[in-house]
Amino acid sequence: MRRTAAALACTASLALLASACTGSSEGGATDDASKETTITFWHGWSQPSEVKAIDDNIKAFEKAHPNIHVKVVKNVTDDKINQALRAGGDNAPDVVSSFTTDNVGKFCASGVWADLKPFLDKSGIEVSATFPIAMAQYTEFNGTRCALPLLADAYGLYYNKDAFKAAGITAPPKTLSEFSEVAKKLTKATGDGYSQLGFMPDFHGYESTPTHFLGQWGATYFDKDGKSNLASDPSVTAMFEWQRKLVSELGGFQKLEKYRTGFGDEFSEKNPFETGQVAMAIDGEWRIANLKADGVKFDWATAPFPVPDDQLKTYGRGYQTGTIIGIAQTSRKQNASWELVKYLATDTDAVVGFANAIHNVPSTFEALKSPAIDPDPNFRTFLDIAANPYSSTTPASINGGAYQVSLQNFGYSYESGKVSDLKAGLAGVDKEIDAAVAQAK
């Protein structure tokens, strides 16, 4: 299931807690993982199929480690995890997971999640050889790796094959100029609306956010000194200019926004791609399960989302995020906890089984290549995106995803015409982000 909205929703509340998230020095890696022990694992999954999948992996772990017993607590939020870790004590978890990669900066910098480098070194696990680049990036902050990937989400293109055929389009576009032409060709205007829209480019559209689009350019967001570099990064300017031009070519912001108000819930059979209201969409691998479950009446397929014309060699890339797992700094059983983290995050059978069960992308190179992974070619599109070395993510920040919220709010103003000077506007966002980061420090 998609976690991005939930991640952004809790970013603001966690920002208020950042200065208090100092963790406790009571924990440590002095326990003997070969002795009989019980550890507690908190996770956020709540759907029956998800809970069963994680429970199955826990049972397999306990079978392989009969001396380590795992007490599992489901449906736990980041807020609750941070409160427990600050408080410490016997009721705090030993192993923690989060859907919010945006908070890795706070988890690592504040010390509430333990540094995993000593455990990785002891186990001989080389991060760059085990996890795809983007996943390795969103699990560390300023040289501290306090998390590992535990499945991932990758973004690509969904397209209506019947609509393509009717319009005489034989293949999905690879460059953004091709994409814009295809989007226009697939658009059928009717009065002040549409009977079919090629693509919804508005930033309020489902998944069509600035950060998801910028994944096709590989934007860096911050310079080597940690300063926001949106105004000086040509890829950011190029993305906004491309998006606003497409908005204009498809009928203009007001017309598109009026049409968007008729969209159903994103995670229902009334999703605009499923109803045929839009012929193309940017979305994650989880949409495949929705499309199959809802029994859409048209033929559809997936492909990587197009890339800038001058970056054709990077075609196949996409934006990535995912679930993360780590060890509570307060845990007195960190060696036993590491055994569970290592198993869930790096054991190929565990990663593949979990990915197949909940329809997420596997998070290790070996799992991505496994013959046991879901063979559906539409799903494998996202495996290739995940493995693509050009795929990227949004970097960790000490105040979470606040900088993404600032950029997204600017996007709303720019696309609607409230901001006319793009460079000046982005410079203003840079100042806002830098001030917020300085305050968080």
How confident is the model over 72-81, as pLDDT tens digits? 999 998 888 8
- The single residue listed with the structure tokens 């920002």 is 15
Nearest to 339, CA basis, from 21, 55, 58, 1: 58
Q: What is the pLDDT of residues 398-425, one digit of tens each?
A: 999 999 999 999 999 999 999 999 999 9
Q: How far is CA 181 from the centre of its chain?
A: 28
- Most confident listed range (23-32, 103-112, 126-135): 126-135
DSSP line for 290-358: HHHHHT-SS-EEEEPPPB-GGGGGGTT--BEEEEEEEEBTT-S-HHHHHHHHHHHHH-HHHHHHHHHHH
**In this prediction, what percent of the chain has a pLDDT beyond 90?**
89
pLDDT score at 441: 86
Average pLDDT in the 35-58 region? 96
DSSP line for 188-247: EEETTEEEEEEE--STTSTT--HHHHHTTTT---B-TTS-B-TTT-HHHHHHHHHHHHHH
Q: What is the pLDDT of residues 152-187, one digit of tens each?
A: 999 999 999 999 999 999 999 999 999 999 999 999
- Give 13 or 267, the one with higher predicted confidence: 267
d(CA 92, CA 72): 12
For residue 361, CA distances in Å to 2, 257, 323, 387 come to 12, 32, 10, 10
Q: Is the dihedral of CA 371, 148, 10, 92 positive or negative?
A: positive
- The single residue listed with the structure tokens 């995993």 is 116
Q: What domains are there in the chain, each with its CATH number?
A: 4-153+321-383 (3.40.190.10), 156-314 (3.40.190.10)
Residue 188 has pLDDT above 90, yes or no: yes
Nearest-Å Rg of the Cα atoms of the chain is 22
Lowest mean pLDDT among 86-90, 258-262, 306-310, 369-373: 86-90
Please count the CA atoms within 13 angstroms of the CA of 351 that sit on its side-chain side: 28
pLDDT score at 13: 42
With b for 16 or more beta-carbon neighbours within 10 A and e for fewer, the 64-77 pattern comes to ebeebebebeeebb
pLDDT score at 191: 87
First-residue to last-residue Cα distance in the chain: 33
pLDDT score at 350: 98
pLDDT score at 15: 41
Residue type, 415: E
Q: What does pTM read for this prediction?
A: 0.92
d(CA 228, CA 433): 6
Residue 276 has pLDDT above 70, yes or no: yes
pLDDT averaged over every residue in the chain: 93
pLDDT score at 89: 76
Q: Band the pLDDT of 26: cuts 50, 70, 90.
A: low
- CB 213, CB 347: distance < 8 Å: no
**In this prediction, what percent of the chain has a pLDDT beyond 70?**
94
Residue 21 has pLDDT above 50, yes or no: no
Residue 116 has pLDDT above 50, yes or no: yes
Average pLDDT in the 257-263 region? 96
Q: What is the pLDDT of residues 216-228, one digit of tens each?
A: 999 999 999 999 9
Residue 205 has pLDDT above 80, yes or no: yes
Residue 88 has pLDDT above 90, yes or no: no
